[in-house]
Amino acid sequence: MSDQNVVNMNEHTRGNLQWQKYIKGGFFIVILLVLLGLLLSNLFIVKEGEYKVIRQFGEVVKIIDEPGLNYKIPFVQSVTTLPKYQLTSDVSEAEINTKDKKRMIIDNYAVWRIEDPKKMIANARTLESAEARMEEFIYSVTRAELGRVIYNDIINDEKSSRGSLNDQITEKVNELLKNDNYGIVVTDVRIKRTDLPPENEQSVFTRMISERQSKAQEYLSQGDAEKNRIIADTDKQVREILAKAQADAEEIRAEGEAGAAKIYNDSFSKDPNFYSLFRTLESYKKTINDETVIVLPSNSPYARLLMGYKE
């Protein structure tokens, strides 16, 4: 073999070795990238306000509720999320009968949360199933509780028993959920609306109008009675004031007349003739006018004074 052939063979061998190195390096990089991608794809973040449920071959093996970065086993484990915060459920309308056999439509809403995800998954399987069971309990308890209350106590805001009813319904629903290990807790159940079936509305509205008119008439009667009482009290006070004023006036008048009589007596006792003349003149004022005709003896003192004769 010539030297030239040997050189060519060596160069070819070195080239093959070089390509083998490139291939091995690329394969290693690919494996590294796959492992890195696999690692990253199996990392997950637990956020505030959520549960992370780790399942292995479909079975729950772990519940993570603390915020942070976590890792699951590739191809073996899976991760699902459940809410940790409070949820609101608008319960479907339902028709119930009150204690006095009145039909009405109740519309509720509930505030609830997941307390134990393992129990919820074990007994309700899904969040939707747990919510459905909770609504069934709410309807059942609401129907039973309102069946013990008369219609007016439910709809009358002044005597509303809704506050205590809401608390009782919430407590009993939680008892049922706890007994069945659903792992959820109802924070509050509220009756947000009460309606009548359409066929009953007009008769109830008519009765309500009648009751309001009766109440208005009662208020008017009370007002008239109070007005009459005030008028009677005022008239009584006026009569008392007038009577007292009259009595005071009579007393003052009597005192004045007594004083005047004393003054007359003191004055006339000093000159009896003048007093006689004054009394006579005063009588003229009362007995004589333009049409007066007096027949008296000519020697009468009364006539003599009228005629201007002196005694």
Q: Would the pLDDT of 154 be above 80?
A: no
Please say whether the dihedral angle defined by the alpha carbons of residues 122, 125, 130 and 133, taken in this order, is positive or negative: negative
Task: Determine the pLDDT at residue 294.
Answer: 67
Q: CB neighbours of 53 closer than 8 A, spacing ≥ 6?
A: 60, 62, 63, 79, 80, 81, 82, 117, 121
Which residues face 59 on adjacent strands? 56
Q: At what angle do helices 127-146 and 117-124 cross, to 10 degrees?
A: 80
Task: Determine the pLDDT at residue 264.
Answer: 73
Task: Determine the pLDDT at residue 131.
Answer: 93
pLDDT cut 90: percent of the chain above it: 27
Q: In a 3-state reduction of DSSP, which class is residue 87?
A: strand
* Across 147-168, average pLDDT: 70
Task: Determine the pLDDT at residue 45.
Answer: 86
CA 117 and chain centroid, separation: 37
Question: For the chain, what is the mean pLDDT?
Answer: 80
pLDDT-derived band at 42 (thresholds 50, 70, 90) equals: confident
Which residues face 82 on adjacent strands? 51
Query: Who wins on pLDDT, 39 or 9?
Result: 39
Residue 108 neighbours by CB distance under 10 Å: 21
Query: Who wins on pLDDT, 196 or 311?
Result: 196
* Across 159-187, average pLDDT: 85
* Across 50-70, average pLDDT: 89
Task: Determine the pLDDT at residue 25.
Answer: 64
Task: Determine the pLDDT at residue 194.
Answer: 77
Q: What share of the chain is helix, strand, coil (3-state, %, to 5)?
A: 60, 20, 20
What is the number of residues in the chain? 311
Q: Would the pLDDT of 12 be above 70?
A: no
Q: Would the pLDDT of 93 be above 70?
A: yes
pLDDT tens, position by position, 95-139: 888 888 878 888 889 999 999 999 999 999 899 999 999 999 999
Strand residue runs (E) in the chain: 43-46, 50-56, 59-64, 68-71, 77-83, 87-90, 94-97, 103-114, 184-195
Task: Determine the pLDDT at residue 39.
Answer: 63
Choose the weakest-confidence range: 76-90, 207-221, 230-244: 207-221
Of the candidates 225, 84, 208, the one whose C-alpha atom is nearest the C-alpha of residue 155 is 208
Q: Would the pLDDT of 249 be above 80?
A: yes
Q: Would the pLDDT of 311 be above 60?
A: no
Q: Would the pLDDT of 157 be above 70?
A: no
pTM above 0.75, yes or no: no
193 in Cβ contact with 92 (< 8 Å): no
